[in-house]
Structure 1
C-alpha cells in the first residue's frame, strides 16, 4: 500500500490479481476522465449530468468504468486510484475512500450553453492522417492550459480525417490562437476557423437551397417526438436502434447517419422524447445499444423546427424525382406504343 496526501491505493486486490502499472495507461486514464468531465462533453452528456446532480458533484468510479473508452484502459477501481496518485489532475480529484471522482471545487462545471461552447471551439484541419491523440494533446498544450480536442474520424473505419474541434478554456485563448499569422504541425500549415463561422457557412448554403426550392407542403408536425442518439458504434443498425427504444415509446421512423455515428428517432406520440428520457433516468443505467453506452437527448424547439423543414425539403425532392421519372416513363410508353402501331400487321396492310 502507498500513500500520498489524502490519496492512497493498493497495488493489487488479491495475491492472484497482481498487475504491473503501466504509466502510459495511467496518463491515458486521467486524460479520458478529464474528457468525460470536460465542459464540452458535460454540456451534451445528459446521463453524466444527472449523475453529477444526484451525487452532489461526485460520480462513482464503478459507473465510469461502464464507459467503453475507460473500460478499454482498465476495469479496476484501484487502477483509477493509482492514476490519480501517480499522475494527478488539474481538473479532477478522487474521494478519500477512492470510490468517486468529481471536478475540483476550484474548477466547477460552468454549465455553458451550446452557443457559448461553440464560441470557444475552433475547427482545425490539415493534420497527417496518422496523427495520434497524444501528439494532438501536446500540440494544443502550447496554446492553452486545458484544451479539449475532439478528433474527427470516419465512422466505419475509425480512421482519423485530419481535422479536429479544439475547445479552449477562454475567449482570449481562442483569439490568440486564431490571430497567429501561421500555425504549423510538423511543418504542415493548418487551416483554422471558429466553429460558429464554419456552421454559418453551412447554414447559408442550406438557406440558399431552400430559397430555390418550391414552397414545402404542409407536414403533420408532432411536437416533442424527436430524440437524438449519438456515440453509436459502427456495428449498430437502424433495426437495433429501434429495438432498443421501442420498449419506451412507439417508434415511427429512424433517421440514421452511419458516417456520423448518430441518429434521430421520431416517435408517434407528442412529447414522447422527454417521456423516454424520464424513463431512462428512472432506470439509472443510461442507454446501451450493441454493448455501447450512447448519449440520448431530446431536440430543442429550434432544432425541431429545422428538422421538420429539412424533412419537408427531402420529401419535396423525392416527389419531384418521382414526377420526372413518371413523366419520362409516360413519354417512353407513348413512343413504344407509337412504334408498335407503325409495325403492326394492320398498318402494314394499309
Structure 2
C-alpha cells in the first residue's frame, strides 16, 4: 500500500501541530516500546493502523474526531516519522525508522536524557508543561506524577528530552522558574531514585536487638514492583455514576477477560481494574469497546477508560504491594495480641502454648 509523503510543515495550525505531536508520541520510541496494544495492532497489517482505532485514544479524540483532519495534519509533518496511506484512513510509523529494541543499553540511554522536576502548580495542565519544557529543547515525553489514591497532580514530573544536552541544560540552569515560581528540585531521573533510596535508608528504624541489619543492597519498592507486577494488566476508569457498584464493573469486563480485582469504592467516580493475565489490558479495552459501539457504559453512564502504562503503572503496583504488606502486618499483630490469651492459653489451632501445663486436655465449652 503506497503512502503519501509528508509535507514541509509550512502553514501548520495550532490544532494540526498538537495532532502531529500527539500522533508522533503514540508512534514514538518511548510509548511504542511499552504500548502492547498499539504494538499488536502494528503487526496486523504491515504496520498500518486505522484512524478508527487511533480515535479510541481519548487525548487524540479530544483534539479532533475527524479522520480527514488527523491525516491532513500528519501530511504536513516534516519529521518523517509517520506515513498516511493513499485512502487517508490508515497511518503507520515509517518503516525506515524501526523501533529500537528494549535493552539495558536503550534504557540507560533514555535515562541519560530524562529528568525529574518538582514544585509545579497543582492545577497545571499537560500542554502548559510541555510548552515550558520545550523552551529548553525538543521533548519526547512529559509524565505528570499523580497521587495514588486521589489521582490529583502531585506537582512533580518526569521529562524525557530528545537529547542529553538539552536535559543537562535544564538541570544545570540556576534559578529556573515556572510562571514566577521557583522550582524546588531539578535532577536527572536516575539521581532522583538514588536520592529517594538513600533517604529511605536514613529514615529506616534501627534493627531490633538480635536481628540482622537490613542489607544495603536492598531493592527499592519500585524495583520490587517491577519484578512482581503483572505487566500491562491494569485499566483506569473515571466518570462513574456514584451509584455504581464494584460488582457491576467486574461483570461488565468479565465478558472480555478474567478480572483479578476492582480497586474501587462505591460513591467515588474513578478507580482501577486489575486483570489476571499479563498484556491483557489493551486487548480487553478494545474488545469491550467493540462490543458496545466504541463506548464503555456502566450503570447507564459512559465512562472514560484507559490502559495504565509506564511510570504510572509502576507507581500503581508499588502502592498496591505496600498496602498489602501493611494490611498483612496489622493482621499479624492483631493475631498475636488476641490469640495467645496468656500463659497456658490456646492458639487458633487449638494446641496448647508451650508455657502452659502439659498433658491436660481442655474441657469443652
The 5-angstrom pairing of residues 1-350 of structure 1 reads 6=5, 23-85=13-75, 89=79, 91-105=81-95, 107-112=97-102, 115-116=107-108, 117-153=110-146, 160-190=153-183, 191-203=185-197, 228-233=233-238, 235=240, 238-239=246-247, 241-247=249-255, 250-251=258-259, 253-255=261-263, 263=272, 265=274, 267=276, 273-274=277-278, 276=280, 280=284, 291-295=303-307, 310=322, 313-320=325-332, 322-323=334-335, 326=338
Give CA-to-partner distance per residue, 1:224-258, whole Å, 9 cap, x none.
97763144335397545533443355545445699
Greater share of helix:
1
Q: How many residues align?
A: 295
In angstroms, what is the RMSD of aligned CA positions? 4.9
Give CA-to-partner distance per residue, 1:114-140, whole Å, 9 cap, x none.
844444321212223454444323322
Secondary structure of the corresponding residue to residue 94 of structure 1: strand
For 1:124 and 1:61, the matched residues in 2 are separated by 35
Give CA-to-partner distance per residue, 1:74-97, whole Å, 9 cap, x none.
222111123234566564332333
Give CA-to-partner distance per residue, 1:3-60, whole Å, 9 cap, x none.
xx8569xxxxxxxxxxxxx943333222221232233322322101111222333321
Output the TM-score relative to the length of structure 1. Answer: 0.63
Output the TM-score relative to the length of structure 2. Answer: 0.60
Mapped contact 1:35–1:41 kept (Cα < 8 A): yes
Residue 15 (structure 1) aligns with: none
Mapped contact 1:120–1:174 kept (Cα < 8 A): yes
After superposition, the Cα gap between the structure-2 partners of 1:313 and 1:151, relative to the gap in structure 1 and judged at 3 Å, is closer
Mapped contact 2:233–2:280 kept (Cα < 8 A): no
Mapped contact 2:5–2:83 kept (Cα < 8 A): no
For 2:173 and 2:190, the matched residues in 1 are separated by 19
For 2:207 and 2:272, the matched residues in 1 are separated by 27
Which runs of 5 or more structure 1 residues have no equivalent in the other structure?
A: 9-21, 216-222, 268-272, 331-350
For 1:211 and 1:50, the matched residues in 2 are separated by 49
After superposition, the Cα gap between the structure-2 partners of 1:189 and 1:237, relative to the gap in structure 1 and judged at 3 Å, is farther
Of 230-239 and 142-151, the range deviating more from structure 2: 230-239
After superposition, the Cα gap between the structure-2 partners of 1:175 and 1:253, relative to the gap in structure 1 and judged at 3 Å, is same
Secondary structure of the corresponding residue to residue 86 of structure 2: coil
Mapped contact 2:259–2:273 kept (Cα < 8 A): no
Which runs of 5 or more structure 2 residues have no equivalent in the other structure?
A: 213-227, 298-302, 343-365
